[in-house]
Structure 1
Amino acid sequence: MVIPVVYHASYSQLALPSQHRFPINKYRLLHDWLQHSQHSRYCKIHTPERVQLSIIKQVHDAEYVDGLINGSLDAKQLRRIGFPWSSELIERTLFSIGGTLLAAKLALEHGIATQISGGYHHAHANFGSGFCLFNDLVIAANQLIAEKAVSKVLIFDCDVHQGDGTATLTSNRTDIISSSLHCEKNFPARKAHSHHDLTFAKGTGDSEYLKLIEQVLPLLLSTYQPDLIMFDAGVDVHQGDELGLINLSDAGLLRRERLVLNIAKRADIPIVCVAGGGYCRDTLQLVNRHSKLYIAATDLFCETGE
């Protein structure tokens, strides 16, 4: 089996101030790592198209969407997002959302797919936050449901920060189930209500973290019987993350990826994996953390024997 991997060069084509917190280069470097690693022969790169604005507007307020696209949002709104406005910002955003939608469709076809960007779970209906302009997870899930490709989607969000935008966007829905596993004392300060919120104390380590996933994910699959799992594989749960506050080791992070993917595989439910968060001034350390997903995926789905 060859695993579909979605990537577009625009993911890292955004000029930011030198001290900006967002690790814009990690997408290009992760793609380069994958291309030159032993795992490349088990992966096929797919290039997304820009998502149509009409698809975004099925989830987000049209006035907010238009304001972002044409650059008319006020300075306060942009500060909340965390990026200065530019045409490159809009370009990478539209390709990123298109990438998550493409990866979701490929997962339905192949059983698994990954997206080197994605996981913009702080975007709400009419405002963005925390480096998230539009919520690619909900947009992709909503579009697949609208196309009748699926009836129900589970968003399983393992980013260290709560997916508050995902929570508010799905609060009145029964066809998109939001589950967020996050550090209790971390951004955002005011939490929203997901269908299932599972919180960790500051400093939680491998054993407690993995035990909860092992208990909860099979229960969610049994309860909701989704047609697709959307896995936000944020690596900001790593002990070396500068914004995370949870203490997963390298080995624990790899075990998480194996655990989530294996549960999905055993249940025979397609899974699409997006990159999610990760914050470290040493971008190569971030690439190493994100690479665990690809190591686990090729091992479990491609029978590499590694």
Structure 2
Amino acid sequence: MFKRKRWIILLLAVPLLAWIAFINFPGRQHPYSPSIDEASDDVSANQTEQADEPGTIDQVLKEPASTLPFNISLVYSPSYLINVGGLERMHPFDIKKYQRICDALVKDGVCEHKDFLSPEPLTNDDLLLVHTPKYLQSLASRTKVAGYLEAPILMLAPVSLDTAILQPFRHASGGTLLASRAAIRSGIGINLGGGYHHAKPHTGEGFCLFADVPIAIRRLQAEKLIQRAVVVDVDVHQGNGTILCLPDDDTTFTFSMHQRGIYPLPKEKGDLDIELPSGMNDDEYLRELSAQLPAVLDQSQADICFVVGGCDTLDGDPLASLRMTHQGIVRRDQMIIDECIKRNIAVVFTLSGGYSKDAWKAQYESVKNLINRQTLAAP
């Protein structure tokens, strides 16, 4: 009987090991690998080529700035969903957060499915505006992707990571670009996803693969749609990747308000970093934000504001120790919108992190409040 069990285990193990070897074989490339020299690690040429398109930023900005209507454009697609055969449930991030928010908004009559804009995935040309060719080629490695997402179990997932993970990330990142384009017209774009602020030019990190906000900024600048951008990062973790993606750049301003003493360590140096003590409640948090935000927006002289609106500042989040409530998140996001409206700055919201079980509800309440306060733009 014992020998029979050993043979059964062996027969089951051999196909699994063969599958793992097959999907990790170096020659298996995916459609996201750019067709460029593997040794090349320079993205500046691509950026320069994009910047040399007809027309200039100055010509566009000579047009009198009209007052934005500040209606809300919503962006979401079921293509954001990650599905690796159930293994995604072992990750601390609620993979279905974005879908839950969308479904609740429709169920409660706040909006309809037809109100959502559906984005296209980012192209390789988009990704190369910020990321290096070498990094994008590393995404062909299952081991590398598992490391970037801090999910070793993905090495055993019997699915194509292209379809199950990379494409959803590209769609959600494309959602940030679409929301920014919409915000230029309507005033406010909300992507029910995105905010991958730990992704760096040379590597992924902290559950983040693509630096969607810096990519959107570079694309809008290349197309002469904006000149200057400000990033307001209110996720509980510093947006270290965003800072590294926008280095020594006087056309961007990075502001991060995050908890001290937690990941990432060490912190990067952005244009303005405010470190918060453990245990900060709603009133304390909002008092600090109201003291900093107006000056940030004034100093940046931005045409557009990107908000990385993580709700891992909530009380009970397993990866942090601030004590904000759902109502505090609602007030925080409304404060940012109000300050941008005062200055006629287009604003883009991304949802970023949040790891408590009811994190999605806080962001649902915030988006619902914003829609009720403003008006939905026509899709």
Provide TM-score, normalisation by structure 1. Answer: 0.92
CA contact (8 A) 2:149 2:206 kept: yes
The alignment status of 1:81 with 2:152, answered yes or no, reads: no
1:28 counterpart (99, 103, 106): 99
| Alpha carbons of structure 1 residues 76 and 57: separation in structure 2 relative to 1, 3 Å | closer
CA contact (8 A) 2:148 2:209 kept: no
RMSD, aligned α-carbons: 1.9
- Alpha-carbon distance in structure 2 between the residues aligned to 1:154 and 1:2: 20
* C-alpha deviation, 1:299, in angstroms: 3.2
* C-alpha deviation, 1:301, in angstroms: 1.7
The alignment status of 1:60 with 2:131, answered yes or no, reads: yes
Structure 2 match to 1:195 = 271
Structure 2 match to 1:290 = 363
1:12 counterpart (81, 85, 92): 81
- Give the secondary-structure state (helix, strand or coil) at the position aligned to 2:206: coil
Of 287-296 and 263-272, the range deviating more from structure 2: 287-296
Structure 2 match to 1:119 = 195
- Alpha-carbon distance in structure 2 between the residues aligned to 1:160 and 1:172: 24
- Alpha-carbon distance in structure 2 between the residues aligned to 1:96 and 1:41: 20
| Alpha carbons of structure 1 residues 2 and 171: separation in structure 2 relative to 1, 3 Å | closer
CA contact (8 A) 2:314 2:359 kept: no
* C-alpha deviation, 1:66, in angstroms: 2.2
| Equivalence map 1:159-174=2 (5 Å) | 159-174=235-250
CA contact (8 A) 1:4 1:103 kept: yes
Larger C-alpha radius of gyration, 1 or 2? 2
Structure 2 unmatched runs, 5+: 1-69, 156-160
CA contact (8 A) 2:105 2:368 kept: no
- Alpha-carbon distance in structure 1 between the residues aligned to 2:275 and 2:114: 34
Which residue type is aligned with residue 109 of structure 2?
Q
Which residue type is aligned with residue 26 of structure 1?
K
Which residue type is aligned with residue 92 of structure 2?
R
User: % of aligned pairs identical?
Assistant: 28
- Alpha-carbon distance in structure 2 between the residues aligned to 1:249 and 1:20: 24
- Alpha-carbon distance in structure 2 between the residues aligned to 1:72 and 1:24: 22
* C-alpha deviation, 1:19, in angstroms: 2.3
- Alpha-carbon distance in structure 2 between the residues aligned to 1:6 and 1:161: 24
The alignment status of 1:228 with 2:301, answered yes or no, reads: no
The alignment status of 1:300 with 2:376, answered yes or no, reads: no
CA contact (8 A) 1:2 1:43 kept: no
Structure 1 unmatched runs, 5+: none
Q: Deviation per CA, 1:190-211, whole angstroms, max 9, x where unpaired?
A: 1111111011011111112101
CA contact (8 A) 2:252 2:300 kept: no
- Alpha-carbon distance in structure 1 between the residues aligned to 2:301 and 2:189: 19
| Equivalence map 1:249-260=2 (5 Å) | 249-260=325-336
- Give the secondary-structure state (helix, strand or coil) at the position aligned to 1:261: helix
* C-alpha deviation, 1:41, in angstroms: 5.9
* C-alpha deviation, 1:288, in angstroms: 1.0
- Alpha-carbon distance in structure 2 between the residues aligned to 1:199 and 1:230: 20
- Give the secondary-structure state (helix, strand or coil) at the position aligned to 2:338: helix
- Give the secondary-structure state (helix, strand or coil) at the position aligned to 1:63: helix
- Alpha-carbon distance in structure 2 between the residues aligned to 1:37 and 1:77: 37
| Alpha carbons of structure 1 residues 55 and 42: separation in structure 2 relative to 1, 3 Å | closer
- Alpha-carbon distance in structure 2 between the residues aligned to 1:137 and 1:233: 12
Which residue type is aligned with residue 189 of structure 1?
L
Which residue type is aligned with residue 78 of structure 1?
A
* C-alpha deviation, 1:76, in angstroms: 5.6
* C-alpha deviation, 1:42, in angstroms: 11
- Alpha-carbon distance in structure 1 between the residues aligned to 2:366 and 2:226: 25
2:348 counterpart (272, 280, 283): 272
Structure 1 segments (4+ residues) deviating >6 Å: none
* C-alpha deviation, 1:276, in angstroms: 0.9
| Alpha carbons of structure 1 residues 7 and 79: separation in structure 2 relative to 1, 3 Å | same
- Alpha-carbon distance in structure 2 between the residues aligned to 1:20 and 1:117: 17
Q: Deviation per CA, 1:202-240, whole angstroms, max 9, x where unpaired?
A: 111111210111121110111121000001111000113
- Give the secondary-structure state (helix, strand or coil) at the position aligned to 1:178: strand
- Alpha-carbon distance in structure 2 between the residues aligned to 1:53 and 1:267: 34
Which residue type is aligned with residue 7 of structure 1?
Y
- Alpha-carbon distance in structure 2 between the residues aligned to 1:77 and 1:7: 24
